[in-house]
Homo-oligomer: A and B are copies of this chain.
Amino acid sequence: MVIQLEANLEKLRASAPLVHNITNFVVMNFTANALLAVGASPVMAHAAEEVEDMVTIAGALVVNIGTLSPQWVDGMKLAMKKAAESGTPIILDPVGAGATPYRNRVLAELLETAPPTIIRGNGSEILALAGASIQTKGVDSTADSTGSIGAAHALSERFGSVVSVSGAVDVIVQGNRTGWVSNGVPLMTKVTGMGCSATAIAGAFAAICADPFEAAVSAAATMGVCGELAYRNAKLPGSFQIAFLDTLADISPAHLAELSKIRLE
C-alpha cells in the first residue's frame, strides 16, 4: 500500500472538485477559503429544499454538526441519503460528540441514515461517537488520538467507514489498515476551524480518490505539512491562520510528498 500524495494533490487541483458542505457557522468562511486554497470548489447549502439537488452535482458531501439545530439536521439527513444512493463520498465531522445528549442523539441518527465514507474527529469525539463513556469538554479534545484507536476500529467495523482521528499524531483506520501521520504543530489547535477544515479537505480528496483510506491519509498529511510550513513564518494564531491558507495554495505536490511523515500498516 502506497499513498500517492503527490498525484492526489495534482489531481485535486486539476479537477477542482465541488465539495458540498453542511457545516457550522463558526468555520464556514475558513473552510471555504481552505477548500479554495487547496484547489477545490466549495459550496455551502443546508436547506432541505435544495440539499438533494446540490449534493447531486457535488463530488463529496461534508457534514459537520458544530452548530446543529433540527432544521439543519433535516438537511443533513436528506443530503446523506442522496449521497449514499449515488455513491458520493460522505465525510462526517462529529464536532462536540459527547458534549450534550442532543449531539449524541443526532449523531446516532446520522449514522443510521447513511454510513459515512470517512469519519474525522478528535480523540474525545471518536471515543464519544463509539459509545465509550468520556466527558467531552465542549469542542476541544481531552483525549489523544492514539488512546482512541480502539474506538476508531470499532466505528470502522460497525459502519465500514474510514475513521481519521486527529491529534499530535493523526491515526487513520479502516479494517485491518492503519495509517499514522506525524505532521502538524500544536498551534493548529489554537485556530478555530482547523479540524473542520481537515474534514472538508478530506472531502476534497475523497472526491478524486477511489480509495477513501488514501483520501483520509492524504488530507491529514496535507493539513499537517501545511501547518508545519505555515509555522515557519507565523508563530501566533492570527497570522498563523493566514499563513496556513497561503501554504495550502502554495505548496507543491513534490514538497508535500517530501515533508509528509506517513507510516502505514
Contacts and interface: CB of A to CB of B under 8 A. Distances in A.
Interface of A: 18, 20, 24-30, 32-33, 36-37, 41-47, 49-50, 53-54, 57-58, 66-71, 96, 99-103, 135, 137-140, 190-193, 236-239, 241-246, 249-250
B41 A241 contact: no
Nearest to A45: B67
Given A26-B44, A70-B49, A99-B43, A37 B237 contact: yes
Contact of A238 (B57, B67, B242): B242
B245 A43 contact: no
Contact of A43 (B20, B53, B138, B193): B138
Contact of A237 (B28, B57, B67, B249): B249
Contacts of A192: 29, 32-33, 36, 42
A45 B42 CA distance: 24
Report the copy number of this chain in the oligomer.
3
Contacts of A239: 242-243, 246
Contacts of A250: 236
B138 A58 contact: yes
A124 to B, nearest CB: 12
A224 B242 CA distance: 22
A33 B243 CA distance: 15
Given A49-B70, A50-B101, 7 more contacts: A33-B241, A36-B192, A47-B70, A47-B102, A49-B69, A54-B100, A236-B245
A26 to B, nearest CB: 5
A188 to B, nearest CB: 11
A70 B33 CA distance: 26
Nearest to A101: B53
Contacts of A70: 47, 49
Most interface-central of A46, A191, A245 (chain B CB within 10 A) = A245
A47 B68 contact: yes
Contacts of A45: 67, 96, 99-100
A238 B42 CA distance: 16
A9 to B, nearest CB: 16
29 contacts: A18-B138, A24-B44, A25-B28, A25-B44, A29-B29, A29-B30, A33-B191, A33-B238, A33-B241, A36-B190, A37-B238, A41-B137, A41-B138, A41-B139, A45-B96, A47-B69, A49-B69, A50-B102, A53-B100, A54-B100, A57-B138, A69-B71, A190-B249, A236-B246, A237-B249, A238-B244, A238-B246, A239-B243, A241-B242
